[in-house]
A and B are shown apart, each in its own frame.
Chain A
């Protein structure tokens, strides 16, 4: 073969090879194009006259239309909503000033929060749209949780302030009594010692109640369920209160409806609740007044049977005080007939026990000169799935 012939054949072969390469390249999409097509974010590009020159598959989905219908058209005419609201100004600026721009806003059309990144490209713009709805959702959730935490924190602070105040009060009186005792004449000593004793007892009761309340809050007791026949059980419970009632000229009676079913409950908790309510009734009933303890079936609810245990006494609680009566430390002024005071935690504790340990509910009604505290209890005992009270533990 001659040199010239070799050269020409070689050239031809190379040309063929080049042509094949070119064809192959033209046939296959570039790696960049492949990436854009499969990107989870929407991408579109416009030229310097705002004509759409590119749209990826994701954007087709977001817009709900075919790119063939949109390419070549002006953006504001083909997809006006891409240029609306928070995005209008920034995107126009990006193209006009050929500077990158980032902005975030809500696309009503797509129903999503979007972060847009616009990059200048040859007089036009390439815009990437990221769906940030999920992130915003988390942010909102976080915000709500923060608010709730702040609210609970305030509640805790208020509680602590009140507790400190309550604890300080008997101590202050004790200090005064001691001071006075130091220089007291013989005939006054008994009075001051009496004050010391009572304030000490007050402080002790307060601390005990606070600890009980805290324990109930932090570790709900393991419930020991027993079968309780309310008639006999209440009769026994009332015994120690009867002599006191006689002494204060209050009448005390027990009424048990014949259809009252036996119940399953934690006896200790029930005793605590019943005793506190009866004790309160004794404290707040004037001489000549009546205290009635009642047990009867209550309306069925939720396909479960309920029982009502109520303590009713002569007396009155104004409406605005009824709302607060279960609050911690709330004491009704003026109506404590026998001036026996209390820690103000009794009813808060009772309510906690009723809800946490007995799975029931407690209400107060004051009408026609009678006050009734009624506790509704599930006949078949506590059941976690039925608990609906979502009150914060403080």
Chain B
């Protein structure tokens, strides 16, 4: 069985390295995108099993990238987990309304990343075409 492929869209180098290392330690293959445009391009071309999207990306932000990916036929089914800097009440709702399937608030915790990604990757196997909310 090939390992699961996760794409991480994050512009801060240190944060990216940490998340990437944790995911690779879980046995996943990790691709990276540094801004919203790259995120859209890479997800559309490589069709990963899961996307971790920082919402405040440069060029095109995470909100916009999510909207685009959820609107496209071929990428709609890929679960997107938002990474946001502020755990404020409104942010959670906004993330879900923009089309994100789940939400992780920074500062992030190793266990949380591992659990949430494992959870969504397992769902993906069961029903890849499902647009879950």
Contacts and interface: CB of A to CB of B under 8 A. Distances in A.
A199 interface: yes
B109 interface: yes
Given A165-B86, A333-B56, A334-B58, A173 B14 contact: yes
B116 interface: no
Given A169-B107, A333-B58, A339-B13, A176 B18 contact: yes
B107 A172 contact: yes
Nearest to B56: A333
Nearest to A181: B21
B15 interface: yes
A164 to B, nearest CB: 11
A168 B105 CA distance: 12
A179 to B, nearest CB: 6
| Interface core residue of B11, B17, B25, B59 (most chain A CB under 10 Å) | B17
A195 interface: yes
A180 B13 contact: no
A191 B17 CA distance: 8
Given A171-B107, A172-B107, A173-B15, A180 B25 contact: yes
A180 B23 CA distance: 11
B108 to A, nearest CB: 6
Contacts of A140: none
B12 interface: yes
Contacts of A118: none
Is the contact region of chain B dominated by helix, strand, or loop, or is it mixed?
Answer: loop
A334 B55 CA distance: 12
Nearest to B108: A172
Contact of B18 (A171, A180, A334, A339): A180
B106 interface: yes
Nearest to A161: B88
B109 A180 contact: no
B129 interface: no
B26 interface: no
A188 interface: yes
Contacts of B110: 175-176, 179
A50 B87 CA distance: 69
A339 B12 contact: yes
Interface in A329-353: 333-334, 339, 341
B22 interface: yes
Contacts of B56: 333-334
A198 interface: yes
B24 to A, nearest CB: 10
Contacts of A195: 14, 17-18
B22 A180 contact: yes
A116 interface: no
A177 interface: yes
Contacts of B14: 173, 195, 198-199
Contacts of A171: 107
Interface in A162-194: 165, 168-169, 171-173, 175-177, 179-180, 183, 188, 191-192
Contacts of B107: 165, 168-169, 171-173
Contacts of A176: 18, 22, 108, 110
Interface in B87-111: 87, 106-110
Nearest to B14: A195
| Interface core residue of B12, B13, B87, B107 (most chain A CB under 10 Å) | B107
B18 A169 contact: no
A195 B25 CA distance: 18
Contacts of B108: 172, 176
B18 A177 contact: yes
Nearest to A198: B14
Nearest to B86: A165
Nearest to B13: A339
A176 B25 CA distance: 12
Contact of A180 (B21, B61, B106): B21
| Interface core residue of B18, B59, B109 (most chain A CB under 10 Å) | B18
A333 B18 CA distance: 20
Contacts of A172: 106-109
Contacts of A173: 14-15, 18, 107
Given A171-B107, A192-B17, A195-B18, 9 more contacts: A165-B87, A173-B14, A176-B22, A177-B18, A179-B110, A195-B14, A334-B58, A334-B59, A339-B11
17 contacts: A165-B87, A165-B107, A169-B107, A172-B106, A172-B107, A173-B15, A173-B18, A176-B18, A179-B110, A183-B25, A192-B17, A192-B21, A195-B14, A199-B14, A333-B58, A334-B58, A339-B13
